[in-house]
Chains A and B, each alone.
Chain A
C-alpha cells in the first residue's frame, strides 16, 4: 500500500535521496490541522543575529524613503533590494549593562527589550523575547508541529566569564520563553535535521502512529504526576526551576498530540553534513530554516551567527585577528577594513537566506519571502564604543503585506521595542500595545 502513488506525506519522506537544495513543492497534503486558519495565510519570522555590531560607515544607505541606495556592506542584497526594508536610528536602551558587559546585556535584551539582571548565575533573569510571544500565540492556534526553532553556529565555550560578570545564558541566547528560561539552541545542522525529519518511517501504519502517541502521552502523564508531587516539597527557587520542566512537558505533549496530523508535503530532504567551517555550517542552517518554513514545521526561527562577543577568526576572509578584537577598532583604518569584510560576509549569508526564500513557495503557492519577515540585527551598533542606539536593522520580506519594503526608514531614537510591536502584530498576535521596558506602540511607517 505504501508503494502506490499517493501524495507524499511527511511520513513517506525518503531519506538519503535528493538534495537539500532546490526542494520543489511536490504536493499539498490536505490537512485538518491547517483548515482552521484558511482565512489568514501563514506568516513567518526568522531572526538573523550577528555579534559585535556593524561598521556603520559602510552600512548606512545614502538616501531615505524609496530613494535609498545600497552601500558596500549591503551590496550582497542587490538581487533582492526591492524586498528589503532598512531601518536606522532604533535604540535598545534596555541593552545597556550595569557597568560593563555590553555584549551579554545587549544580547539578552536583543529581542526582549528587558534589562538583564547582572549576575554570574544566582537569580539570573531577563525577559520573554518577541519571537517567543509569537511562538506562543501560534502554538495556541496549533499552527505547526514545532512552535519555534532556535539555531546557532556556536555551542558554549565552557570556560571563564562570558562577559564581565554576566552569566553565559545572556551571551548565548537571544530567544527567551520567559525571564528565566532561555531557549537552548541547536548548533549542529545534522541534529536539527534529525529533529525535524528523523523518526519518520515510511512503513508506519496509522495504528502504529496511534500507539506511539498513546505511549508517549502515558510517559507525559506519569512524569507530570511526579513533578506535581515533587513541587509540593520544594522551596520557591526550586519550584521555579521545576516550572521549566512543566513547560517543556506541555510542549512535548503538544508535539505528541500532533503526531499523525500530517503537515503539507514539501520535498525530499537529505541530512546535511556536520561541519565546523562557518561557511558550510551557516549555509546548512539557512537551508534548514527554508525547509522548515516550506514544510510548515515551524513559522518562527532564530539564528545566532555566533555567540555574543565572539572572537572568531575569519581566516577565509584573509583575516588573522578575532572579530571582537577588530570591533574595538580604535578608529584604526585596518580594523575598519577587517570589520567591513566580516560585515559584508554576514550580509551575504543573510542575503542567501532571503534569496532562497524568494525562490521557494509555500503550500498555498505563495513565495515564502512574501509571507515572511527576515530580520537582521546585532546587539550593539559600534563595537568600539558599545553603542546601543542606531542599531543595524534590516527586514526582508513583506509578511503578507504587513511590511513596506524597498525603503530606508529613519526612526531616530525610537525604541526598537516599537518595531517588535509592529512585527508581533504583523505575525497576527492580538492585543499587543506595549512591549519590553520601553515599547509604547507601533513603529510609524513600518507598513509603508
Chain B
C-alpha cells in the first residue's frame, strides 16, 4: 500500500494522470459539459496555438472605487491616520474571488454618507495634528497659503497634478466660510473635506482619449502609478512614484521594474499578504470558521490567530525571498508558536510568537496543505470535507473548478455502519450517477488529505475510530497516497502557473479575466516561469504586460 506512486515510472505516470484528469475536467458528467464556472480555464499545454495572431486587447477596467482596505491604507499614507475609518463602512462585495473587483464595487447612498462623515473627522484630526499646514494662514490675506495647502493636498489625494482652476474652485470655500463668520482656517478645512469626497479621490480615474474607441492606448504616467501602488500597496502612490510619473519615468520596462522592486521592499507591500493572499488562499475565512466545540474543543481564538499568522508569514517570505512561487505547495519551513506547534505535533519552538521552523524532518507539514488555516476553512464544522478541499485545489490552483452539485443530491450520506471511513462514505455518494463525473476529479485530491482533521491536526483515525484511508484514486487508475503524493501531483500540473497568473492578474487589475485574456495569461506565466518563477517574477511579468500598462475605450453599453 505504501507509495505505489514512488516506486516506478514517476514521470510517465504524471503525464498520464494529468492528461486523464484534464479529460475529465472538460467533460465532467461524462457526456454533458460542465457549465457552472464563468472563469475561463487556461489551456493546458504550454505552447497552445493561436496567440501569435490575436490582436492584443488589453481589456478595460471599470471606474474603480476604493474598497475598504484601499481607503484605510490611502488615508494612512495621505493623512497619517491609522484609525481605519473604513471599518464603519459597509462591507465590499467581491467578484472573481476578490473584493477589489471594480465591476461589483458599488457606491451606495449609505457609503457616500460614510465617506462624507469620515472626511470631516479625518480633516479635523489631521488639522489638529498640524500635518497639513505647510504655511501660516494670514487672517487678512489667507489665499496664498491656502492655495499652497490645497494644491499640495489635492495633488496627493487625487494622485495627479491639479489645475489652477481646480484650486481656485476649492478656494471658494474660504469665501463661504467668511460669509458665515468663520475663519479662513475653517474654509481651508471645508475645502480639504471636499477633496476627500470628490470622485477624483474616491475613484481611481482612468480616462480614455476617445471613450468609444477600441484601439488600445497606454495609460498616462499617473494612472499607471496608481495601478502600481494599488496593486502592490493597496494604497496611493508615494512621492517618489508621483514624481516618477511627473517626469515621465514610468515609460520603460527597466523603470517599471525598478519601481516594483523598490515598492516590494517597502513594508506597505504587506498589503499583498493580507489582501491578495488572504483571499487567494482563503486565510480570511478563518475569522468565520466555527469548528464543532464538542468534537474540536481545542480550537480557540489563539490557534485561529496563530494559523492565520503562519500562512501570512510563509507567504510574506515568498514576497521577499528567493523561493519559487510553486514551492508554496511543499515549502520545507513554516512559522509556528508553541500552541500551534503542539497542535501540529511539532517540536515546540519555545515562544508564544511565531518562529520560523525547519520542516525537513516533518514532511507532513510542508507546504500550504499542511497549514491549519487552509485545512480548517475547507472543512465542515463537524467533519472534514474532501470535496471542499478538492474544489479548493481545482479552483485556486488549477482554475478547473467543477460545477456545483445538482439539486437534491448535495451532502454526504450518513455512514451505513459507524466504522465506515470518509472514503467509503464518499464512494457511496459517488455511486449516484449524477454525482459520479464531477466527484471523480474532486475527491481524490481531497481524500489524499484525510490525515488532517477538520482543524488541521494529524490523525490516523477518524472520529468514529475507523482508520484513515488517505488514498485518492485518480480517474486513470493511479493512486495518490496521502498529502505528499497529492502535493507532487498538483505541483507538476502544467495548469498551475497559468492559474496562479490568472488569480494574480485578476487582483492586479481589479477585473475578471475573459477568453480575450487567455493568451496574455499564458504569456505572463511563461515569462514569469522563465525568469525564475518567484512571486516577484509573476508580479513583474504582469506589470510589464499590456494588460497592465494599457487600456481601451468602450463601445456603447452592452445590454446583456
Interface residues of A (CB under 8 A from B): 99-102, 117-125, 147, 150, 155-162, 164-165, 167-169, 172-173, 177, 180-188, 191, 194-195, 199, 211, 214-216, 218-219, 222-223, 225-227, 230, 233-238, 240-242, 244-245, 247-249, 251-252, 255, 312-313, 315, 320-322, 325, 328-330, 332, 384-386
**B60–A321 contact, CB under 8 A?**
no
**A122–B103 contact, CB under 8 A?**
yes
**A235–B103 contact, CB under 8 A?**
no
**A119–B199 contact, CB under 8 A?**
no
**B407–A320 contact, CB under 8 A?**
no
**B411–A330 contact, CB under 8 A?**
yes
CA distance A194 to B284 in the complex (A): 27
Apart from A147-B109, A222-B169, what are 13 other A-B pairs with CB-CB below 8 Å?
A: A121-B96, A167-B93, A219-B194, A222-B194, A223-B194, A233-B208, A235-B60, A235-B211, A236-B554, A241-B62, A255-B113, A320-B292, A328-B410
Query: Can you spell out 20 A-B residue pairs with CB atoms less than 8 angstroms apart?
Result: A100-B403, A125-B560, A158-B91, A158-B92, A160-B395, A161-B97, A167-B95, A167-B104, A169-B95, A218-B194, A223-B199, A227-B199, A234-B207, A235-B211, A235-B212, A236-B556, A244-B107, A245-B202, A248-B111, A312-B290
Question: Which bracket fits the contact residues of B?
Answer: 35 or more
**B113–A156 contact, CB under 8 A?**
no
Q: Is B381 an interface residue (CB 8 A)?
A: yes
**A245 to chain B: which residues have CB within 8 Å?**
107, 112, 199, 202-203
CA distance A352 to B96 in the complex (A): 38
**Closest 9 A/B residue pairs (Cβ):** A121-B95, A235-B554, A155-B91, A184-B90, A248-B112, A251-B109, A320-B292, A236-B557, A238-B63
CA distance A199 to B411 in the complex (A): 50
**A121–B92 contact, CB under 8 A?**
no
- A188–chain B nearest beta-carbon distance, Å: 7
**B169 to chain A: which residues have CB within 8 Å?**
222, 225
- Residue-by-residue, is B409-450 near A (CB-CB < 8 Å gives 1, otherwise 0)? 111011000000000000000000000000000000000000
Q: Is B147 an interface residue (CB 8 A)?
A: no
Give the one of A159, A162, A237 with max B CB within 10 A. A159
Give the one of B103, B203, B205, B284 with max A CB within 10 A. B103
CA distance A224 to B92 in the complex (A): 24
Task: Return the chain B residue nearest A251 by Cβ.
Answer: B109
- B552–chain A nearest beta-carbon distance, Å: 9
Q: Which of B1-44 contact A (CB under 8 A)?
A: 35-39
- B197–chain A nearest beta-carbon distance, Å: 5
**A214–B112 contact, CB under 8 A?**
no
**A236 to chain B: which residues have CB within 8 Å?**
211-212, 554-557
- B60–chain A nearest beta-carbon distance, Å: 7
**A219–B110 contact, CB under 8 A?**
no
Task: Return the chain A residue nearest B193 by Cβ.
Answer: A219
**B511–A122 contact, CB under 8 A?**
yes
- With contacts A183-B110, A211-B180 taken as known, whether A219 is within 8 angstroms of B91 at the C-beta atoms is no
CA distance A167 to B180 in the complex (A): 48
**A165 to chain B: which residues have CB within 8 Å?**
36-38
CA distance A227 to B201 in the complex (A): 11
- B64–chain A nearest beta-carbon distance, Å: 8
CA distance A61 to B75 in the complex (A): 55
Give the one of A102, A123, A156, A248 with max B CB within 10 A. A248
**A164–B176 contact, CB under 8 A?**
no
Task: Return the chain B residue nearest A210 by Cβ.
Answer: B180
CA distance A228 to B372 in the complex (A): 51
**A182–B108 contact, CB under 8 A?**
yes
CA distance A245 to B115 in the complex (A): 12
- B333–chain A nearest beta-carbon distance, Å: 25
**B107 to chain A: which residues have CB within 8 Å?**
241, 244-245, 248
**A119–B111 contact, CB under 8 A?**
no
**A118–B38 contact, CB under 8 A?**
yes
**Which of A155, A173, A320 interacts with B381 by CB under 8 Å?**
A320
**A322–B380 contact, CB under 8 A?**
yes
- With contacts A168-B104, A222-B194, A384-B408 taken as known, whether A214 is within 8 angstroms of B180 at the C-beta atoms is yes
- With contacts A237-B62, A248-B111 taken as known, whether A157 is within 8 angstroms of B288 at the C-beta atoms is yes
CA distance A168 to B90 in the complex (A): 14
CA distance A122 to B511 in the complex (A): 8
- A285–chain B nearest beta-carbon distance, Å: 14
**A320–B555 contact, CB under 8 A?**
no
**B60 to chain A: which residues have CB within 8 Å?**
235, 237
Q: Is B235 an interface residue (CB 8 A)?
A: no
- With contacts A184-B90, A226-B198 taken as known, whether A252 is within 8 angstroms of B111 at the C-beta atoms is no
- A412–chain B nearest beta-carbon distance, Å: 21
**B395–A161 contact, CB under 8 A?**
yes
**B199–A230 contact, CB under 8 A?**
yes
CA distance A360 to B94 in the complex (A): 39
**B200–A226 contact, CB under 8 A?**
yes
**B284 to chain A: which residues have CB within 8 Å?**
157-159
Task: Return the chain A residue nearest B288 by Cβ.
Answer: A157
**B255 to chain A: which residues have CB within 8 Å?**
none
Q: Is B279 an interface residue (CB 8 A)?
A: yes
Q: Is B173 an interface residue (CB 8 A)?
A: yes
CA distance A381 to B519 in the complex (A): 44
**B381 to chain A: which residues have CB within 8 Å?**
313, 320-322
**A124 to chain B: which residues have CB within 8 Å?**
95, 103-104
CA distance A121 to B170 in the complex (A): 36
**A121–B199 contact, CB under 8 A?**
no
**B208–A235 contact, CB under 8 A?**
yes
Q: Is B125 an interface residue (CB 8 A)?
A: no
Q: Is B364 an interface residue (CB 8 A)?
A: no
- B126–chain A nearest beta-carbon distance, Å: 17
Task: Return the chain B residue nearest A238 by Cβ.
Answer: B63
**A182–B198 contact, CB under 8 A?**
no
- With contacts A122-B512, A251-B109 taken as known, whether A156 is within 8 angstroms of B92 at the C-beta atoms is yes
Task: Return the chain A residue nearest B392 by Cβ.
Answer: A160
- A391–chain B nearest beta-carbon distance, Å: 16
**B414–A219 contact, CB under 8 A?**
no
**B290 to chain A: which residues have CB within 8 Å?**
312-313, 315, 322
Q: Is B285 an interface residue (CB 8 A)?
A: yes
**A384 to chain B: which residues have CB within 8 Å?**
407-408, 410
**B96 to chain A: which residues have CB within 8 Å?**
120-121
**A240–B557 contact, CB under 8 A?**
yes
- B120–chain A nearest beta-carbon distance, Å: 9
Task: Return the chain A residue nearest B170 by Cβ.
Answer: A222
**B127 to chain A: which residues have CB within 8 Å?**
none
**B403 to chain A: which residues have CB within 8 Å?**
99-100, 164
CA distance A297 to B199 in the complex (A): 28
Task: Return the chain A residue nearest B96 by Cβ.
Answer: A120
Q: Is B321 an interface residue (CB 8 A)?
A: no
Q: Which of B78-116 contact A (CB under 8 A)?
A: 88, 90-97, 99, 101-104, 106-113, 116
**Which of A123, A169, A233, A385 interacts with B407 by CB under 8 Å?**
A385
